[in-house]
Structures are given as structure tokens and as C-alpha cells.
Chain A
């Protein structure tokens, strides 16, 4: 019986070439497609399958948008869980660690803990009125960090207690693999949800820009592609990259114009405690009110106008599309490198013709973080209800001194009239 540690030691030292390939996934294309497309050549058949499923996914996407923010949150959560599952499964395959005691339970437990922590930090703020009414929830919110930490510690101690002689290295690898996966998938998905609460437009425009970039880069590459872009992904070409960039910027610009007109997309999501549902109704902020911009003299002859009516948000959409086209692909290259490193063709075979969920979302990795950082740096101030909640927790003397500072500030700015009562 071969010692597992010995085997692992060899695995570490061998170069990539020596590691055996994982067998290709089974062809899971449904029968119906096969019959309908039986007359076409293999390449076009592949094209059609991918095309049909792309349309199917986009339709599902629109359906969910129609159903509202809560459904979108659930969708994001399910995708997160599926991505986590896919990456962990790859870890098991690489390390042959199906039989490790406890490990699957521990991974899912950690996923639960980290999600609990993040949901408590972010979502709880939005449900402030709902929470005020219930005693037990108040307790959970007040000591939230402590409870999350205690839950995490339990998992940590279980891990230490589960260490088995001869399997130490394997267990540490899986522990690290789980944590890195959590870091990537869970934090990203919570940033996506925070962006969503800022306004559905901050969720839709970035994701669509990435998808658009993917599709248009592929199309430009298909028709005009000549010079390869990077050794890592030999199919990508410079023509596709640049063509995709310009089309994505134009797409983002036009798409934002349409979305910015509807309150449904533009308003921050709020929870209405009377009707017990999410509402998106507000006075649109100045980002979403049409303004006149002067066209720079250079472009005037091209466009033929002197001024143009645009939403300020469209300027921001240019920044978002630029990021999606220029930096987003690096997330894709990272995933390609990862798949090469571990000799897998696709993350999983969930979607026929498209691979796993992770394959579709690899370019979205960095986008969600970028949008969140962009919003907090340039758009939104801090969350008012969270600020209020923190003010109310302060000691009374602190509250009084803060009150005085705020009052003098407001009077100075003319927002508050000095009272004469």
C-alpha cells in the first residue's frame, strides 16, 4: 500500500507534463438537440448549441430581473454555492481526497459561516426596521461579529481535531483550498449583492458589459482574428480584443441610456416594512437626470450636433465598460491558467457546450469588486441608515458631543437655520 504522503510528495515535484490528464467530461447534450442538428457539420453544430444555450441563459436572466431584486439575490446566492461546489470538487479530484474524514462537511460548514457573517454585515443594514421589531434579531445583530467568530472557531477546532496521521499534508491543502475558494467566490457574490442594493442598474450594466465583451470579442476574433494575444489562451486575438473593447463601450453607453429612464432600475432597493417587500421607488439622483453636455469641438463635425442630452451615469458606464474589456479578460486568463495547471478542460459540465458555471463567470471575478470599489470611491457616500444605527449605539455623552458638532456644521452650511425658540 503506497503511502499517501509519498504519493503527494511526488505530485508536488513532478512537472505539469507528468500529471495524467483528467478524462474529458461526458457529452451531456440533450437528445433533442442531437436530432435537430444531425444534418450539420460538427463545427456548426457546436456553434448552434452554444448559441441556443446563450439565448436560453439570457432569457432566464431577463425573467429573473423581471421577478425582482429578491429573486436576483437568490440567484446570486445559488450561483455562489454552485461555484464553490465546482472548485472544491476540482480540489478533491486533484488530491484524491474523497475519503478524507469530515472534509466535505467542514468545507460546507465554513461556507455557511462566511455567508452568515457577510449577510449579517450587509443585508442586516437594509432590514433595519424589520429587525427593530424583533427581540431575538436585535441580539443577533448586536453581537453579530462575536457570534460569527465563534462559529468560525468551532469549525477551526473541528479541523484541528480531525487531523489524521499520514494525511496531514492533504488536509492542510484542502483547508487552504477551501479558504482561497471562499475568499474568491463568497466575497465577490456579496459585493455583487451590495451593488444590487445600490440600484439594479449597477448590477445589470457591469454584468452585461462583461457578457457583451465576451461575445463581441469572439465575433471579431472569428471574422478578423489574426495576431494572437497571449500564449495562455491561443484563441484570443488582438483584433478581437480591440474590437470587443469598442463595441462594449458603445453597448454600455446605449444600454445605460435605456435603463436610466426607469425608476425600477435606478433607485436603491429598500425594504418596506409595511408591505413587507422590496421597493424601488425614489426621486432619481442627479446621476440619472438628463443634462446637456457640450460636444467637444473635435467630435462636432463627426456627429453634427453641438450639444447632446445625456445622463451623467453614461459617463460612468464608459469607465465600467473599459474595465470590463481591458481588465476583465485577465480574470479569464487566470481561469485558463488554472484549468491548464490542473489539466481540466472545463470546471464542470453543468451547461452543455459551455462547461460549468465557473466558466461563464470567470471574467466577472474582478468586475464585481471593481464596481463596488468604484461606487464607494466616486459615487456613494456611506450608508445613512448604517451611520444612524452606529450613532444610536454611542454613549450618551458621545452622542451629545457629536450632536453639537453636527449642528454647528449644518448651521455653517446653511442647511439648518439657527433656531430662535
Chain B
């Protein structure tokens, strides 16, 4: 994606198919659409050739963004949640704007209002579900929250229905098709943008490490694939993105797995990253404090005989989480790029010039304000599938169901059902030897 931005920032009038035939090495150096590089940088780098200047500019700004990322992490989960929320809104706004541009539908009555209304509804639904799950005790304490939470699905559905009926009433003769297109466009955008951002927040609540490691792996894969492609790239990977090469792909894969292992090792040592985020009733704030689960406790692993000669050790001390990080990095390197190809196809399909566009993104949209970087933000379109994968992975292999949620559900059952479940659970625990046959206090 780094490479694509250079070719996409072309002189107007060239189509995507034209840009495919030029390559960075063979053709003339790409002309940036407007040179916004600050004067400071211009002077400092004035004696380098333009290609290396571009490289340096990007490098510096990459570091700036990574630093920004670390600052936000330091500020804590609440700030992260807010950032994810803002990014979601900005992405939604951008995709909807693309829809307007494609369909010339600025003048459609009601439509902008309706799109924002649907965004609000869907967010209300998801936030309500999240809040009910994680802030159970807080919700039970406050009377209005309790009612809102008890009838939450009904309220959300009623809100959505209102929007639906408003849409039907707003249909205007001669514009039906356009309105249906925009309705479909809005819903698909909501499906992608809002669900992804809520899955990210769920991952975050599981422990900041589940938020940081996947995102970093995707970023690392992008950078590594670019570098390997830059130095060793020869065989093209896919017609859709002609700059990607097999060498970059494979090199990026191995580099990302290694990076994931190292990053997980460093992070697993700190409670603030590995503990689930909880809401403390007494202090009314978020806390990350717990006994680290066995995933984050060092264990001895035997090295398979094959590798023993290579590495020279018989056993190694690792965190079990590092094994999981291999799965996450593998996904980021192998499947993540498909999200990028999807976005490339989307941009080609709608003939969007990169500088304005930032789909499926989870970062702020700098567009032309970062010189030469219009494309670097596109790196985040690989995050598209990553968030869902991490969430599914956690639900399937790591976390069991949430005990407090189960208790909450239990309390709404009928007494005879409660008794039946209680007795079954008791029999199960006795079976396992966790409970003596005598009743304990």
C-alpha cells in the first residue's frame, strides 16, 4: 500500500489501468500532487535525491505516528475507547461521502440525517450490549440504567424501526433507485465499520495486549513486506496490486512472526497489558489489576529435536501467550493483506484518488497533510479482518463465557428452571471432586 500511493498520486486524467504498467524502478519518478513537506524537512533533506527524501519523510512520520500510538496507550483504556469511537465516526463519514460522490446524491431529502440516525441507533445497540455485559453491577445500582438495560433490545429495535419508517416515508418519485442504493450503501458501511470497532473494544476489554499485538503485527507486516519487496522484490504477487511481490510477502511473514513473538514476550510481563479491563465500583473508574492468568505465566517448553541443534538449548522459557501470538501474526501476514486487496479493488472500482480516501480505517485521516503519505494510512485497511479474527479467536480458544453475565441470566429464569440448573451444576462439581458430598458453607 505504501507503494501504491506513489502511483495513485498521479497527474489527473490517468486511469488506474495506466498506472499498472509503470513501476517504481523503471519509470520516471512519481510526481506528488502537491508538495506539503514542511520547510524544515525540505531544507534538512535538500541535498538528497528525491527518492531518498521521500523515504526519509515517510520514515520520520511513521515514527511520529508510532509515538502517538504509545502515548494513547499510556493514557489508558477509556481514552483508547474514545479514539476508536472517533475513528469509527470519521470512517463512516468518509465512506458515506464517497457514496454521495458516486451517486451525486447531495440533494436527496433526509438522507444525510437518516444515515447519521442509523449510525446512532446501531452504536446505541452495541454500546448497550457491551455496557450491560461489563458494567453489570453499575447498571444494577442505577434505576434508569436498569430499565434501559432490561428492555435494551426492544428499545434499540424500536429506534431502528423509526428510522426504517422514516426512510419509507421519504421515498420520492424519480429518485427511488438512488435512495435504495444509498440505503444499501449505509447499511453495508454500518455492518463493516461499526461492528469492527465494537469487536476492537471487546478485544480491548479482554486485555490491552489483545488490542496492541494484533494492530502492531499488521503494521509490522506492512512495513516489512515493503522493505523486503524494496530490496529483494522480483515476482509479482497479484494483478490487483502490481507492486506486491512474493519475496515481500514471504519475508514479511517471517519477520512479522518473529516481531510478534518478541513483542508478546515484552508485554506479557506487565499487568497493565495482560489484565482484563474492569470497572471498579468503589473508585468508579477502570482498573487493570489482577492475578495474571496462566497464559501470562512463564513456562518451560521442550524444544523439538529438530530445532535443538539450531538453537542450542534443550528447553526454553516462554509465555503460552507467545504461541497464540504466532497464530495472530500468521493471520496478519497471510490473510490480512486480502483486506488490503479488497480496498484496492474498491478504490479502482470507484476510481477514487487515494489522497482523499481512507476506507476501513482505524487511524486519523491525514490525507494530504502528511506529505507523500496519503497512502500510508491505507495500511490500516488490512486491520479490517484482523479485529474480527482476534475476537473470534479469543471466543473460541481463550476465554470462556463471562461468569457475571451468566449469573445475570440465571437470575431471570423461573424458579423451577433455576433449581434444575443448580442441581445439574452441583452434580457436575461433585463429579469433578470440586465439591464434597457434604454441603459446605
A-side residues, CB < 8 A to B, are 12-13, 15-17, 19, 142-143, 145-146, 149, 153, 156-157, 159-161, 163, 165-166, 168-169, 171-172, 176-177, 179-180, 183, 230-232, 327, 330, 333-334, 337-338, 340-342, 366, 369-370, 373-374, 376-378, 381-382, 384, 387-388, 390-396, 398-403, 405-407, 409-410, 413, 415-416, 419, 421
* A172-B419 contact in complex given A149-B389, A180-B188, A391-B425, C-beta closer than 8 Å: no
A382, B413: Cβ atoms closer than 8 Å: yes
User: Are A19 and B191 within 8 A (Cβ)?
Assistant: no
Q: Are A388 and B403 in contact (CB under 8 A)?
A: no
> CB < 8 Å: which of B161, B393, B422 contacts A406?
B422
**Nearest chain-A residue to B169 (Cβ)?**
A230
Q: Contact partner of A384 among B345, B395, B397, B420, CB < 8 A?
A: B420
Q: Does B338 lie at the interface of the complex (its beta carbon under 8 Å from any beta carbon of A)?
A: yes
A residues less than 8 Å from B136 (CB atoms): none
Chain B residues near A19 (CB, 8 Å)?
Answer: 177
Distance of A402 Cα from B389 Cα, bound (Å): 30
Choose from B169, B177, B406, B417 the contact partner of A391 (Cβ within 8 Å): B406
- Contacting pair A381 B412 (CB below 8 A): yes
A377 near B153 (CB under 8 angstroms)?
yes
The CA of A405 and the CA of B406, in the complex, are separated in Å by 11
Bound Cα distance A372, B157 (Å): 11
Q: Give Cα A159–Cα B174 distance, bound, in whole angstroms.
A: 33
Q: Which residues of B contact A168 (CB under 8 A)?
A: 345-346, 348-349
Is B407's CB under 8 angstroms from A402's CB?
yes
Quick check: A337 and B168 within 8 Å, CB to CB? yes
Q: Is the CB of A172 within 8 A of B393?
A: no
- Check A421/B438 contact, CB under 8 A, given A149-B392, A179-B188: yes
Q: What residues of chain B have their CB less than 8 Å away from a CB belonging to chain A?
A: 17, 102-104, 150-151, 153-154, 157, 161, 164-165, 167-169, 171, 173-177, 179-181, 184-185, 187-188, 191, 238-240, 335, 338, 341-342, 345-346, 348-350, 385, 388-389, 392-393, 395-397, 400-401, 403, 406-407, 409-415, 417-422, 424-426, 428-429, 432, 434-435, 438-439
Quick check: B439 and A373 within 8 Å, CB to CB? no
Residues of chain A with a CB closer than 8 A to B429's CB: 396, 399-400, 403
Are B395's CB and A145's CB within 8 A?
yes
Check A373–B413 contact: CB distance below 8 A. no
Interface of B is mostly: helix
Q: Which of B185, B393, B413 has the most CB of A within 10 A?
A: B413
Hey, which chain B residues are within 8 Å of A153, CB to CB?
335, 385
Contact (A163, B345) CB under 8 Å given A340-B176, A406-B407: yes
Q: Assess A337 versus B161: contact at CB under 8 Å? Given A387-B413, A398-B400.
A: no
Q: Is there an interface contact between A377 and B419, defined as CB atoms closer than 8 Å? A: no
Query: Across the interface, do B407 and A172 meet the contact criterion of CB distance under 8 Å?
Result: no
- Asked if B342 contacts A413 (CB within 8 A), the reply is no
Closest B residue by C-beta to A420? B439
Contact B165 A330 (CB under 8 A): yes
Q: Are B393 and A146 in contact (CB under 8 A)?
A: yes
Residue of B nearest to A406 (CB): B422
Q: Is B422 touching A416 in the complex (CB atoms < 8 A)?
A: yes
> What's the minimum C-beta distance from B244 to chain A, rounded to whole angstroms?
12
